[in-house]
């Protein structure tokens, strides 16, 4: 069911957006060569506890997950791009790390993701991250009242295809509100002018993710982590966005 939020409710969602952004900033800053993924999960867990927030991940068990997630942040490294289950792995120089985090504050949820390079970057990784960032920006810019879901999807795809990347539509954006995942689905490829009209009060997560040389993913034995089918690296960016009369508001905007 698609729910529209009042202007007052969108204001009530802002603290969750600020908190999610702050946790991503903190964990990205802490992610250095030699830092263990489990340490990043502990940091996020401590920040949740200190803020009196609630994790959206730890008990999360959708149909595609092998078991409850059990951690509070997704840490996807190199060829892993989505749903990376934190495990005993120390980050290495040149690793590409995607961090995906959602939490509830006072009953309202926000969801966001960022991809960084740990240590020395490779040009091809920076190019992939740059394209994914620009695709997110394009998707947000297209999220105007009176437009349609397909306008967001087409804007994202236009950036990716122009840079030579292919697109997987199995996983994409989604509605956000009292729960982490709701209607509507926001695919990363589509036709402009098609799909659900974007009405003021709609709150969605827009989340482009691309792989360097494929659009196929496989699931790790952990039952969660999604990796590229050919071992190429991935990038993932996401913001929670509210559609308003005056345009989109990025609730999870990070400090510049």
From first to last of its 256 residues, the chain has per-residue pLDDT tens of 899 999 999 999 999 999 999 999 999 999 999 999 999 999 999 999 999 999 999 999 988 888 899 999 999 999 999 999 999 999 999 999 999 999 999 999 999 999 999 999 999 999 999 999 999 999 999 999 999 999 999 999 999 999 999 999 999 999 999 999 999 999 999 999 999 999 999 999 999 999 999 999 999 999 999 999 999 999 999 999 999 999 999 999 997 7
CA–CA gap between residue 117 and residue 88 (Å, rounded)? 19
Element spanning 206, H or E: strand 203-206
Q: Measuring CA to CA, how many Å separate 176 from each of 30, 61, 127, 222?
A: 27, 17, 29, 26
Residue 255 domain-assigned (yes or no): no
Q: Is residue 127 part of a domain?
A: yes
111 carries a ligand binding annotation = yes
> Does residue 240 fall inside a structural domain?
yes
Q: Is 230 marked as a binding-site residue?
A: no
- Residue 226 lies inside a defined structural domain of this protein: yes
Cβ proximity of 133 and 87 under 8 Å: no
How many structural domains are present in the chain?
1
State the Cα–Cα distance between residues 83 and 102, nearest whole angstrom.
12
Q: Is 239 annotated as a binding residue?
A: no
CA 92 from centroid of its chain's CA atoms: 23
Query: Which CATH number is 222's domain given?
Result: 3.90.230.10
Residue 238 annotated as binding? yes
| Best CA proximity match to 190, nearest among 161, 152, 216, 217 | 152
209 domain-assigned: yes
Residue 131: exposure state from Cβ atoms within 10 A (0-12, 13-18, ≥19):
buried
Q: Is 54 labeled as ligand-binding?
A: no
- Is 174 annotated as a binding-site member? yes
Is 83 part of any known ligand binding site?
Answer: yes
Provide the residue range defining the domain that includes 226: 7-250
């Amino acid at each position: 069911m698609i729910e529209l939020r009042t202007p007052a409710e969108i204001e009530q969602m802002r603290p969750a957006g600020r908190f999610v952004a702050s946790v991503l900033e903190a964990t990205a800053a802490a992610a250095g060569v030699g830092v263990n993924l489990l340490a990043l999960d502990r940091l996020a867990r401590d920040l949740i506890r200190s803020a009196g927030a609630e994790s959206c991940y730890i008990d999360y068990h959708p149909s595609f997950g092998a078991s409850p997630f059990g951690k509070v942040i997704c840490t996807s490294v190199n060829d892993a791009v989505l749903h990376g289950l934190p495990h005993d792995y120390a980050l290495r120089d040149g690793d590409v790390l995607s961090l995906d985090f959602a939490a509830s504050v006072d009953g309202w949820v926000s969801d966001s993701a960022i991809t960084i390079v740990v240590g020395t970057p490779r040009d091809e990784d920076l190019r992939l991250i740059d394209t994914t960032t620009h695709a997110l920006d394009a998707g947000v810019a297209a999220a105007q009242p009176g437009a349609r879901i397909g306008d967001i999807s087409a804007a994202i795809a236009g950036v990716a295809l122009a840079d030579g990347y292919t697109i997987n539509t199995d996983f994409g954006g989604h509605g956000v509100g009292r729960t982490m995942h709701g209607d509507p689905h926001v695919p990363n490829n589509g036709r402009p002018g098609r799909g659900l009209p974007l009405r003021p009060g709609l709150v969605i997560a827009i989340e482009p993710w691309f792989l360097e040389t494929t659009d196929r993913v496989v699931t790790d034995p952990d039952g969660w982590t999604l990796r590229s089918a050919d071992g190429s690296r991935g990038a993932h960016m996401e913001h929670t966005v509210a559609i308003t009369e005056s345009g989109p508001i990025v609730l999870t905007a990070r400090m510049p």
